[in-house]
Structure 1
Amino acid sequence: MTRRGKGWVVGIVLLLTLTACKQEVKTDTLLQTKPFAGQKLTVFAANHPWSNIMRKWIPEFTHNTGMKVDLQIFSEEQLHQKMAVQLTSLAETPEVFMYRAYMDKILFYKNGWTVPLNGYVMRNEAYDFSDFSKATIESSTVNGQLMSIPLFTDQFILYYNKDVLQKNNVPVPQTLSELQEAAKKLHDPKHDFYGFVSRGQRNALVTTVSSFLFSEGGDYLDGDRATLNTPDAIRGFKIYADLLRNYGPRGVVNMSWPQSIGLFAQGKAAFLVDSAALYRNAIDPEISVVQDHVGFATFPAGSAGARPSSIASWSFAMNPKAKNRDAAWAFMEWVTNKENVLRIQRNGIPGARNSIWASKDGIEMFPSDLVKAIQDTMEKGIGHSVPSVMSVPEARDVVGGIVVKAILGEDIQHAANQANKELQTIIEGDKKN
């Protein structure tokens, strides 16, 4: 039993004894024992609504444990730079840091920059680690070692304009073939309206095209072997490229998510595929003209079924050089317990716990069809959205190049063959580092 747990037992026994003796006791004598009194924890986090909300709640943690928490918030680029300096210099701080496990877990794991958490998550039965969605844990795990705890999530889903579909008697697509047919029918570029929009920028599109790739039975790798030019993979890449080439707006190869979801929010597209976490951008009345007409659905099924990406977009990891790992874990556990995940989710940030998505309190602030799409995706989703290599940015450029070339009219088989060789070179190079 942890020191904190022993303190609770002693407190309960004392309460029962004094009650039995009918003695009057002041409430403050029964408070927690503040097991980390006098200690200080440094935490680095990205500038995100999650971080700004959590900052407001940290005084509660300090009150209960006695531990002071210095939460330092940086832009994403600054955070990466500062963590690189701290970890390579073997600094003891920050003890806890936020990072993109889906992008960096292999690199951090091989460099020994994160602590395996398998044992920590089993210490407290009430923490209920099994409550985290399978896909988000997959995106936080390397070689069976849990290297981080999910903070919030990305589920890739289908957005659609309900008004446009209803007026044209088009049902919500259940398959990728139906999506292609619907996009073709609704595409009207002469009136600045497009059947489909999504990310077309080379690096940015990879996390979105992954759902098409997986749903057609493909993947980026098979062990240490690149698989970008298999028939399944090419089919997935081609469906995505064809949608953007034939039914997307001009200049789509320069679009990342802000541009594509912005176009959808302006009522200029029938369908959009992107992360559910971005849903507010589509329904915010200050930036959207279709806020009352946005529908959400599970990603359409391909020949291998519906297999969309479902990842932990940001996670908390522990610094191996932290002097007091128990103190670091106490904070990580508190931040990601059921109560705080619920509170975060009620602020509109999708959490990674299944029980919260199954509770009325956890879903009542989200559109009902969005809830269903997220629940379905958490159940069937795939826990990665980029190649699982150390050199992820380089690998993303290679993968994205296949789609961009196809959008521009080049032969996709040739592009995939060349990209497969390039990805294999990256894999072999990572082995040497």
Structure 2
Amino acid sequence: MKNRLNRVLSIGLVASMSMGLLAACGSGGNAQPKAQEPAKGTDTKAAAKPFEGKKLTIVLANHPWGDAIKALLPQFEEKTGMKVDVQSFFEDQLSQKLTVQFTAGSATPDVFMYRPLQEAKLYYKNGWIAPLDEYAKKDADYDLADYSKASISTVTVDGKLSGIPTITEQHILYYRKDLLEKAGIPVPKTMDELEAAAKKLNDPKNEMYGFVARGQRSALVTQVGSFMYSEGADFMKDGKATINTPEAIKGMTIYTNLLKNYGPPGVLNMSWPQAIGVFAQGKAAFFADANSIYKNAIDPEKSKVADKVGYAQFPAGSKGSQPYNVTSWGLAMNSKAANKDAAWEFIKWATSKEITLQTQNKGNPGARLSVWDKPEGIAAFPKEWAAVAKEEQKGGVDHSLPPVNNVGEARDIIGAVVQKALTGEDIKAAADQANKDFQALIDKENGK
């Protein structure tokens, strides 16, 4: 019995060895090795989704871009395994909420929409914003170089990236195609041509005005800036106020004369809604303002000239066409966010080429040049508008407001120059006084 058992064990051992050799040699030696089991303690799901189970708090503005992102959030949550809590506020409410929470040292929100022109410098100075340079540059696929130069410059503070651009806007010229065609006037390419055309088409007796734009004290500053830039001026340089230089005064004078000589009544009280309202009602031949508000001019329910609106690049001054080309909205990271890598994952996704294309298809003009180069990237916009926006993305000036912390006070100081000139006061005297006041503000912010 014992001998028989030994024979059975021997036969089994030989068979096992033979099967092992056959498996190793296989048919022609092409057998695939058996897949290794994951090491104990390895979570393959976590490896694929490193932020699985994390939660982010995102604060957005009540803005079309924010609406577009909220609709796409399920894609992000599925891709990353994260959950996103979204809160939305109107602009002023948003600024107030962020200021209160950041002042208190809150770690939430992790990511937030902000207005770089008004808030980047102040937020960065207060330590509320986490610089994104290392995040944006370490991932070659993210392609930071795909952003327009001016858009990145707008969100850069003290050489650091304070956020990522989401919405851009440029200063353009709106015009009435039918009026120009009837009068045989070509689309103005220079300031001199614009003034000549506005003069020719100005007909106050029939409630037709040659030109309309913002005349309200604070609101006009973003617009008069492009007129100044195109004459080689700026609000300040190297910490010095420069709004009374000959170039600055010339730019402000051109703007003032257009409004004073060819503008509608009540222009002193007009911000952009009132100004574009005049244009949309068919009472102005030209309107200069941000391209982002164009829908107000072509909405048949709001506009009597919806099918007669044309778009052109900002007219050239003595230093060429130098309109503002800015990031009006961006995404930033809370410097006290508990999980900055997770927060960046959201920013990276929301500002990727793929998502930018989707949000731009909803009518939100982004800053990625590659998206502007795609036919589907401009499909949501009027053809002529898109051509002008794409061209102006290539250059322009990266700010439409003076780069100081207290933007509101600076706007009031500078806007007063144009308002005084509109009411008949000497523009040089007004500019000299404003320059002193503006310099005092700059010095105060710099601790002088």
Give the TM-score category using the shorter length.
Answer: over 0.9
Distance 2:237 2:251 in 1: 16
Q: Partner residue of 1:162?
A: 177
- Alignment partner of 2:310 out of 295, 301, 311: 295
Q: Partner residue of 2:257?
A: 242
Distance 2:173 2:94 in 1: 31
Q: Partner residue of 1:366?
A: 381
Q: CA deviation at 1:432?
A: 2.4
Q: Partner residue of 2:16?
A: none
**2:431 is the alignment partner of 1:416:** yes
Q: Deviations over 1:156-211 (max 9, x none)?
A: 10000000100111110000111011000000111011100011111111111111
Q: What does 1:257-296 align with in structure 2 at a 5 Å threshold? A: 257-296=272-311
Distance 1:406 1:71 in 2: 46
Structure 1 residues 185 and 37: CA distance shift in structure 2, 3 A: same
Q: What does 1:218-367 align with in structure 2 at a 5 Å threshold? A: 218-367=233-382
Q: Deviations over 1:280-302 (max 9, x none)?
A: 11111111111111000110000
Q: Partner residue of 1:87?
A: 102
**2:122 is the alignment partner of 1:107:** yes
Distance 2:231 2:253 in 1: 10
8 A contact 1:32–1:65 mirrored in 2: no
- Alignment partner of 1:379 out of 373, 394, 400: 394
Structure 1 residues 22 and 351: CA distance shift in structure 2, 3 A: farther
8 A contact 1:220–1:387 mirrored in 2: yes
8 A contact 1:32–1:64 mirrored in 2: no
Could you state the TM-score of these two structures normalised by the residue count of structure 2?
0.89
Distance 1:332 1:60 in 2: 14
Q: CA deviation at 1:154?
A: 1.1
Structure 1 residues 192 and 21: CA distance shift in structure 2, 3 A: farther
Q: What does 1:62-81 align with in structure 2 at a 5 Å threshold? A: 62-81=77-96
109-118 vs 219-228, which moves further:
109-118
| Counterpart residue identity of residue 400, structure 2 | S
Distance 2:151 2:395 in 1: 11
Q: What does 1:25-174 align with in structure 2 at a 5 Å threshold? A: 33-174=48-189
SS of equivalent to 1:119 = helix
| Counterpart residue identity of residue 99, structure 1 | Y
Q: Partner residue of 2:216?
A: 201
Distance 1:208 1:287 in 2: 23
Q: CA deviation at 1:223?
A: 1.1
Q: CA deviation at 1:219?
A: 0.1
Q: CA deviation at 1:22?
A: 12
Q: Deviations over 1:124-178 (max 9, x none)?
A: 2111110111111111001211111111111110000000100111110000111
Q: Deviations over 1:231-290 (max 9, x none)?
A: 000000010011001000011010011111111111110001111111111111111111
SS of equivalent to 1:165 = helix
Q: Deviations over 1:317-363 (max 9, x none)?
A: 11111110000000001000001111111111111111111111101
Q: Which has the larger radius of gyration?
A: 2
- Alignment partner of 2:420 out of 381, 405, 424: 405
Distance 1:123 1:99 in 2: 24
8 A contact 2:46–2:52 mirrored in 1: no
Structure 1 residues 22 and 339: CA distance shift in structure 2, 3 A: farther
Could you state the TM-score of these two structures normalised by the residue count of structure 1?
0.92
Q: Partner residue of 1:16?
A: none
| Counterpart residue identity of residue 115, structure 1 | A
| Counterpart residue identity of residue 300, structure 2 | P
8 A contact 2:276–2:297 mirrored in 1: yes
Distance 2:157 2:122 in 1: 10
Distance 1:376 1:36 in 2: 40
Q: CA deviation at 1:364?
A: 2.1
SS of equivalent to 2:205 = helix
Q: Deviations over 1:17-65 (max 9, x none)?
A: xxx8999xxxxx9998222111110011111111112111111101110
Distance 1:431 1:113 in 2: 19
SS of equivalent to 1:432 = coil
Distance 2:143 2:357 in 1: 14
Detail structure 1 runs of 4+ shifted over 3 Å in the superposition: 20-23, 29-32
Structure 1 residues 181 and 41: CA distance shift in structure 2, 3 A: same
| Counterpart residue identity of residue 42, structure 1 | T
Structure 1 residues 163 and 427: CA distance shift in structure 2, 3 A: same
How many residues in Structure 1 have an aligned counterpart in Structure 2? 409
SS of equivalent to 2:289 = strand
Distance 2:374 2:229 in 1: 29
For structure 2, the 5+ residue unaligned runs are: 1-31, 36-43
Structure 1 residues 195 and 326: CA distance shift in structure 2, 3 A: same
